[in-house]
Amino acid sequence: MSGTKTGAAARPLSPHVQVWRWHITMAGSILHRATGVALYGGALILAGWAACLASGPAAFGTCKVILGSIPGKLVLFGLTFSIFYHLANGIRHLVWDAGKGFDPKFADATAAGAIAFAAVISVFVWGIAAWMGAL
């Protein structure tokens, strides 16, 4: 470890993030946690949207204006990316649960693949929505 603490319990210190060489699997791990938190926020947005829908046309119109604005669409696009990334990385974790995919090169490739998959599919879904006039 990187050193020891002084005091009653002299235990080794955990290495700091700056000690490690940055790699794609580290980014994938952080992104998986971040998208999990984002999806929680998305569930709250979905609940708010459902409440607006149940409250009547005026409330739904307000929600439609908020979610239809540029910042609202950016949030919705981010949630779309979060859903697809969390899905792809969840499949990656299922492969790990089977005891496969721990080779560093394979882990790096699947981390990059999950990010690329989420980006491409998100743009594809939003492109179809724009083409159909839903945006």
Sign of CA dihedral 26, 30, 33, 35: negative
Q: Are 24 and 111 in contact (CB under 8 A)?
A: yes
Tokens of 135: 């945006």
Q: Which two tokens stand for residue 63?
A: 């929600």
* Tokens 């990010």, residue located: 115
Residue 12 phi, psi dihedral angles, 5° rounding: -70, 145
Annotated ligand binding at 86? The verdict is: yes
Annotated binding site for heme: 86
Annotated binding site: 86
